[in-house]
Homo-oligomer: A and B are copies of this chain.
Amino acid sequence: IMSKGTVVLAYSGGLDTSCILVWLKEQGYDVITFLANIGQDEDFEAARKKAESLGAKKVFIEDLRAEFVEDFIWPAVQANAVYEDRYLLGTAVARPCIARRQVEIARSEGAQFVSHGATGKGNDQIRFELTCYALYPEVKIIAPWRIPEFYTRFRGRTDLMEYAQSHAPGDLYLMTKNPEDSPNVPDVLELEFRNGVPVKVTNVKEGKSKDSPLDIFSYLNEIGGKHGVGRIDIVENRFIGMKSRGIYETPGGTILLQAHLDMETFTVDKEVRRIKQGLGIKFSELVYNGFWYSPECDFVRFCIAKSQEKVEGKVQLSVFKGQVYILGRESPKSLYNEELVSMDVQGDYNPCDASGFIRINAVRLREHHRLQGFSGSDQV
């Protein structure tokens, strides 16, 4: 029997993508599986054996953790990336990282096809496929959960999972402790930033510190998880226009967001920050919708990176019972000027100027008031 060609399948080792593997072979494809390690808790060797036993022609298992942190999470930290005011985009930034490597494999293995196990109503299918199309425009994508002959046959099992997911949030959390069961003593951390990304984390009490991107991020996940930080239960708006419930945990990301917000406001000019805030919101929407690899996301990342050149210094914070408390900050590049802001030193600042400032700002407001009962006519 002639092969229809080679497909690189994003494989998780779970039931879903195992079914897909088998089905793709049934359809006549040679299947290469690809399993990315981006930090999840997984038995990678078991997955390898399973893939091989199910007939994978080749099995790739790759550790993408370091590049995931540096190339994807760090830009999200710089952007203060939050979707719809609450969701920290953990899954959303993982997709382009995984898909990027998957198309590299497809190209180097001469595969014309890629496949994945994302469902037909979700965001991940879009994130996955837009990345593939952007980086490998000629690729052909097989999305079994959108192919009737596949999904009518396998639907039953997924219903169950879906059911479980929506009825037992408590058990879903894998990285974070329940804050009610978390330690009664805070951990105090010092996070050092340069160019808007963390370069070192120190546990102040224990003296322990980490300074590679992956180590920093892993450690923040560990500490955040221990204290139950970053659990949310939200309704969100998917790209395809549905509302759905999401339950997420982002322990390290939550600490990073709070610390970065603090260092950024401390060091970046007010108006630059305001413009950058708008770019950050745009970035978050783009990433959520799957446009990491797009001209506009490149552009926005580039602009945001520029805004971060002075985001340098140390933030002290405590982590306790699900919360992150900023304790203080210091920076060699701070625009904070103790003398200027202080009441007891007048310095270069003349309080009388404020009177003029306020009165000029009031010109328009007073004019507006004047017009409220107005009945003449102006002509120019």
On whether the beta carbons of B272 and A296 are closer than 8 Å, the reply is yes
Chain B's closest residue to A313 (CB) is B377
- Of the residues B126, B162, B295, contact of A342 by C-beta under 8 Å: B162
On whether the beta carbons of B363 and A349 are closer than 8 Å, the reply is yes
Q: Interface centre among A134, A300, A351, by most B CB within 10 Å?
A: A351
- Of the residues B244, B320, B369, contact of A321 by C-beta under 8 Å: B320
- Between-chain CB contacts (< 8 Å), 19 pairs: A85-B261, A86-B261, A86-B265, A121-B340, A130-B361, A133-B359, A147-B352, A162-B342, A162-B343, A180-B184, A235-B265, A235-B336, A237-B265, A269-B364, A275-B299, A329-B379, A333-B374, A353-B355, A353-B359
- Please list the residues of chain A having a beta carbon within 8 angstroms of any beta carbon in chain B: 80, 84-86, 119-121, 125-126, 129-130, 133-135, 137, 143, 145-148, 151, 155, 158-159, 162-163, 179-180, 184, 186, 231-237, 240-245, 261-262, 265-266, 269-279, 281-282, 285, 290-291, 293-296, 299-300, 302-303, 306-307, 313, 320-323, 325-338, 340-344, 348-371, 374-380
In the docked arrangement, what's the CA distance between A366 and B138, Å?
9
Chain B's closest residue to A227 (CB) is B321
Q: Interface centre among A235, A299, A326, by most B CB within 10 Å?
A: A235
On whether the beta carbons of A351 and B241 are closer than 8 Å, the reply is no
Measured CB to CB, the closest approach of chain B to A187, in angstroms, equals 13
Query: Which of chain B's residues have a CB closer than 8 A to the CB of A274?
Result: 285, 296
Query: Which of chain B's residues have a CB closer than 8 A to the CB of A363?
Result: 240-242, 340, 349
On whether the beta carbons of A365 and B130 are closer than 8 Å, the reply is yes
Query: Which of chain B's residues have a CB closer than 8 A to the CB of A84?
Result: 265, 273, 277
Query: Which of chain B's residues have a CB closer than 8 A to the CB of A349?
Result: 121, 363
Chain B's closest residue to A303 (CB) is B303
- Of the residues B322, B327, B330, B366, contact of A133 by C-beta under 8 Å: B366
Chain B's closest residue to A369 (CB) is B137
On whether the beta carbons of A371 and B119 are closer than 8 Å, the reply is no
Query: Which of chain B's residues have a CB closer than 8 A to the CB of A344?
Result: 155, 158-159, 162-163
On whether the beta carbons of A328 and B358 are closer than 8 Å, the reply is no
Per assembly, the copies of the chain total 4
Q: A333-B374, A365-B293 are in contact. Are A85 and B325 (CB under 8 A)?
A: no
Measured CB to CB, the closest approach of chain B to A337, in angstroms, equals 6
In the docked arrangement, what's the CA distance between A208 and B294, Å?
41
Which 6 residue pairs are nearest across A and B when measured between Cβ atoms?
A356-B356, A120-B351, A241-B364, A321-B321, A237-B270, A330-B379
Q: A237-B270, A296-B269 are in contact. Are A377 and B245 (CB under 8 A)?
A: no
- Of the residues B184, B269, B367, B370, contact of A368 by C-beta under 8 Å: B269
On whether the beta carbons of B135 and A369 are closer than 8 Å, the reply is yes
Query: Which of chain B's residues have a CB closer than 8 A to the CB of A358?
Result: 125-126, 129-130, 133
On whether the beta carbons of B125 and A371 are closer than 8 Å, the reply is no
Q: Interface centre among A135, A358, A374, A378, by most B CB within 10 Å?
A: A358
Chain B's closest residue to A299 (CB) is B272
Query: Which of chain B's residues have a CB closer than 8 A to the CB of A374?
Result: 332-333
On whether the beta carbons of B320 and A179 are closer than 8 Å, the reply is yes
- Of the residues B278, B337, B354, contact of A240 by C-beta under 8 Å: B354
- Of the residues B158, B299, B379, contact of A307 by C-beta under 8 Å: B299
Query: Which of chain B's residues have a CB closer than 8 A to the CB of A296?
Result: 269, 271-272, 274-275
